[in-house]
Amino acid sequence: MEITQPLFGTDASSTDSAGLCVEGLVTSLNATTPWQLILPASGVFGLTGPSGGGKSTLLSTLAGQRRCRGTIAFASTVWQSGRRALATHKRALSLGFQDSRLFAGQSVADNLALARRYSRRSLPGEECDQLLRDFGIAPLLHQPVELLSGGEAQRVALLRQLFHNAPLQLFDEALSAVERAQVLRRLLPTLRDFWTRHPALVIWTSHDFDEIQLLAQRCLWMECANLSAPMSLTEVARRLEANALGDSCRSRIEARVESLRDGLLSLDLGGVSLYADRVTGHYRNGDTAAFLLDAGDISLSLEKPGLSSILNCLPVTLAGKQGLANGRIRLQLTAAGQMLYADISRLSCERLQLRAGTTYFAQFKAGSLAGL
């Protein structure tokens, strides 16, 4: 049954009246494992897990596009109670689809204008222009959507959702067809900036854990229709490894922003300055910035090296080592309480005679800090 008005509108008894509260949600997929979920009113949360686990089903159920039972409330408004559901367009949300679903027969500009027109908190014009430039959509504005490539269509679909600027934004593999370098270098920093300026509750579904690591602080895990509570990224990385889904060769590291000049970002990690170049995101001094470091980009030396074109030299402690199937050795290193991985050859490992608990110097180039 469809409710035409939010007649069971405001509900003070809801457990988390400001954010998203899901209780005992049952669909045909999870008849025996009802979903529970409590999230705050704003923040970015990842959602990942093996394929076919029910991630897309959860999103379409939250959006009211799938038959279900249970309770869904968001921002003090009840969306679903028992079998009664509020129509999708009356929910303060936006949902992106894996197949983009751009409005056919219309131009990119028409698609974006429609999303903006039906927004309840419309973005200022300057903000939209900036997003168009950051997403590289400006030259495509007058193209019919049928002529876009897969990656372009995904960027337009994502932008359409940002233009709509709903309080709850659900994304489903929004960047899977976009070139990886663009995603890391340009789109993820833009998204992070955007949600800092326009806070919303965002559920970012992806198989690409790097995207989640760079956007979110915490992540939901869905496996065989079982939904976990939000967990730390370290725990998700462990589960991905256990499912042989991830290759955790990229470490997520957080550091404090010291300065940003001419695209060169200076960061402070436990008293050591790190540098990242070609930075496109906007940062203020004192912000915490997260970046990814590929295990293959790190070299290790026993003593502090002299002046070099490699800008970054970080003292690290060896926590453990593990042989990889390809004959290389993966080192677990810690620096300022954070874990990072470095892959080196077996020969290097034998020559350096690495021992756990000893301090070494990790070197990596300024261009290897990804996602800033």
Partner 1 sequence: MTIAAADWQALWLTLKLAGLTTLLLFVLGVPLAWRLSQWQSRWRHGIEILITLPLVLPPTVLGFYLLLLFSPNYASGQWLSQLLGGPLVFSFGGLVFASVIYSLPFMVQPLLAAFNTNGQRLSQAASALGMPPWAALLKVVLPASRAAIVSACALTFAHTLGEFGVVLMIGGAIPGETQVVSIALYQHVEAMEYGAAHRLALMLIGITTVLLLLARWLGHILAPRGSTKESLKPATGVWG
Task: Note the residues at the interface with partner 1 (CB under 8 A).
Answer: 63, 65, 87-89, 93-97, 99, 101-107, 114-115, 118-120, 136, 139-140, 142-147, 149, 160-161, 164, 166, 181-182, 185-186
| DSSP symbol at 148 | -
Residue 262: CB minimum distance to partner 1, A:
16
Residue 340: CB minimum distance to partner 1, A:
28
**Residue placing its CB nearer to partner 1 in the complex, 190 or 251:** 190
**Residue placing its CB nearer to partner 1 in the complex, 65 or 299:** 65
Distance (Å, rounded) from C-alpha 292 to C-alpha 248?
Answer: 11
Distance (Å, rounded) from C-alpha 2 to C-alpha 152?
Answer: 35
Helices (H), the chain: 55-62, 108-117, 125-134, 150-164, 180-182, 188-197, 209-215, 233-242, 346-352
Amino acid present at 327: G
**Residue placing its CB nearer to partner 1 in the complex, 18 or 147:** 147
**Residue placing its CB nearer to partner 1 in the complex, 69 or 186:** 186
Residue 108: CB minimum distance to partner 1, A:
10
Residue 4: CB minimum distance to partner 1, A:
10
**Residue placing its CB nearer to partner 1 in the complex, 81 or 107:** 107
**Residue placing its CB nearer to partner 1 in the complex, 4 or 13:** 4
**Residue placing its CB nearer to partner 1 in the complex, 74 or 209:** 74
R_g over Cα of the chain: 23
Are 77 and 9 in contact by the 8 Å Cβ rule? The answer is yes
Query: What are the contacts of 40-44 at 24+ separation with CB within 8 A?
Result: 40/16, 40/201, 41/75, 41/167, 41/199, 41/201, 42/199, 42/200, 42/201, 43/199, 43/201, 43/202, 43/217, 43/218, 44/192, 44/195, 44/202, 44/204, 44/215, 44/216, 44/217
Residue 274: CB minimum distance to partner 1, A:
25
Angle at 289 between CA 283 and CA 295, to 5 degrees: 135
Distance (Å, rounded) from C-alpha 202 to C-alpha 296?
Answer: 32
**Residue placing its CB nearer to partner 1 in the complex, 107 or 338:** 107
Query: What are the contacts of 212-216 at 24+ separation with CB within 8 A?
Result: 212/46, 212/48, 212/236, 213/46, 213/250, 213/252, 213/290, 213/292, 213/371, 214/184, 214/188, 214/252, 214/290, 214/291, 214/292, 214/371, 215/44, 215/46, 215/188, 215/191, 216/44, 216/45, 216/46
| DSSP symbol at 12 | T
Residue 77: CB minimum distance to partner 1, A:
14
**Residue placing its CB nearer to partner 1 in the complex, 98 or 338:** 98
Residue 131: CB minimum distance to partner 1, A:
14
Residue 233: CB minimum distance to partner 1, A:
27
Residue 278: CB minimum distance to partner 1, A:
11
